[in-house]
Amino acid sequence: MDEIIITNIKAREVLDSRGNPTIECDVKTDLAFESALVPSGASVGEKEAIELRDGGKRYHGKGVEKAVKNVNEKIAPLLIGENILDQKKIDSLMLKADNTENKSHLGANAILSVSLACARTAASSLRLPLYKYLNPNSSVIPIPLMNIINGGAHAGNSLEFQEFMIMPVNVETFKEALRVGSETYHELKIVLKEKYGKSAINVGDEGGFAPPMKDIEEPFEMIVKAEENLGYEKNLMFAIDAAPSYFYDKKTGKYTIGSKKYTNMELLEVYRELVSKYNILSIEDPFYEEDYEGFAAITKELNIQIVGDDIFVTDPELLKIGIKKGVCNALLLKINQIGTMTEAMEAAELAFRNKYNVVVSHRSGETEDTSIADISVALDAGQIKTGATCRGERVAKYNRLLKIEEENEHSIYAGKKFKYPT
Ligand code: PGA
Ligand code: ZN
């Protein structure tokens, strides 16, 4: 089938996992009807596409009625009658109508809700799951980067780094990886409660615990203890997202951790030390988004994955600059940072062509939408970051991956034969 016509588009205001308004969009053809929901960040990169919010008193200024109106009154008339199988044209028509650098006219949230809902309805119209529609040959089920201790902008504790994640490896399947991750999460809960008391097991925005820790090594120590209790030392690697806009001072150019202030090169030594002590495989945003010097140095000097989130904001143009400057060796892919499926896929392809890894990612404000699970499989990305094995909006993505693995007898779990560094 070459052409299936969009017959209706309708958006509404709903709530995300933090209880803030976001957009749900329905797209119809004569053959199918699917919806998509838009996530939202807390530690937002300065160059991200603009989420349109209403301001004023309603929902503390966070309403999205204007963006919903833009979908229903501006985008819908533009796209009804178009071919839903032509995602590039759908997205380019919206970009043209928006006609700004950062999607601030129609709103990146309005645009993404339609872009993603079109992809979902197109797949459904062809009776395909989303991942098969996007890539009929996809076969890799990603390693989950599970954020089990939360700090920074996502938690009410004093940890500077935002995310302490575990990556289950050397297991046969994603199903086993999820079990190892979940067991570790629950063992960590016991370990934390014993050491810090009951309040330590409250969870942050991404489902990880938010214990009252201060020292940057404490989370690693506690997770290692949980791993050892379970005998999973060879099955878990660490990943962190420092997200330093939270502890970086633009005026002085220094990073504050605990009571100490660090230059970028001094902070690099902190990372070097952590990497030498713990099995850290991946560091996301080790430096502030404009600290290209820090990013280039760590990429060159530490032989691990360096992931660019706020520095690239899923923008192919910023990724091109980064590639030229030798910063990072992986891209964090968040579709709402850029706002359309076409541009997000372009960013991923550009990354792969330049031998960068791709980590598909949720936002800290999420919804029940599971599209990123399908997107991670479609891209054969091999890695997905979607929170702890806790909170419905996080677990929904992991549950979706279980189903995709079950549907594909010949799929391969990306962490199956992981060479453990000695
Ligand atoms: P955010 O956090 O969704 O709040 O931006 C996630 C991240 O920094 O990776
Ligand atoms: Zn990040």
Express each pLDDT in 339-365 by its tens digit.
999 999 999 999 999 999 999 999 999
Do 55 and 201 share a domain, yes or no? no
Q: Which CATH number belongs to the domain containing residue 209 in this structure? A: 3.20.20.120
Q: Which CATH number belongs to the domain containing residue 113 in this structure? A: 3.30.390.10
Do 254 and 121 share a domain, yes or no? no
Instruction: Write down which residue in 127, 157, 182 finishes a domain.
Output: 127
Tell me the residue range of the domain where 50 lies. 6-127
Alpha-carbon distance of 362 to 339, in angstroms, equals 14
Work out how many domains the chain is built from and give that number: 2
Instruction: Write down which residue in 127, 159, 179 finishes a domain.
Output: 127
Which ligand 1 atom lies nearest to the CA of residue 44?
5
Q: Is there a domain that residue 353 lies in? A: yes
Do 57 and 78 share a domain, yes or no? yes
Does position 61 have pLDDT exceeding 80, yes or no?
yes
- CB within 8 A of 179, min separation 6: which ones? none
Instruction: Write down which residue in 70, 102, 127 finishes a domain.
Output: 127
| Active-site residue list | 206, 334
What is the pLDDT, as a whole number, of residue 147? Answer: 98
For residues 146 and 166, is the Cβ–Cβ distance under 8 A? yes
Do 74 and 14 share a domain, yes or no? yes
Q: What percent of the chain has pLDDT above 90?
A: 97
9 C-alpha to ligand 2 centroid (Å): 32
Q: Give the binding-site residues of ligand 1, using a 6 Å CB cut-off.
A: 41-44, 241, 243, 309, 361, 363-364
Which ligand 1 atom lies nearest to the CA of residue 284?
9
Q: What is the pLDDT of residues 216-260, one digit of tens each?
A: 999 999 999 999 999 999 999 999 999 999 999 999 999 999 999
57 C-alpha to ligand 1 centroid (Å): 26
Q: Is there a domain that residue 119 lies in? A: yes
Alpha-carbon distance of 281 to 120, in angstroms, equals 33
pLDDT band with cut points at 50, 70 and 90 for residue 306: very high
What is the pLDDT, as a whole number, of residue 422? Answer: 43
- Residue 157 is given by DSSP the state S
What is the pLDDT, as a whole number, of residue 85? Answer: 98
pLDDT band with cut points at 50, 70 and 90 for residue 64: very high
Do 215 and 66 share a domain, yes or no? no
Do 158 and 273 share a domain, yes or no? yes
Q: Is there a domain that residue 418 lies in? A: no
Do 121 and 153 share a domain, yes or no? no
| φ, ψ dihedrals at 83, nearest 5° | -80, 120
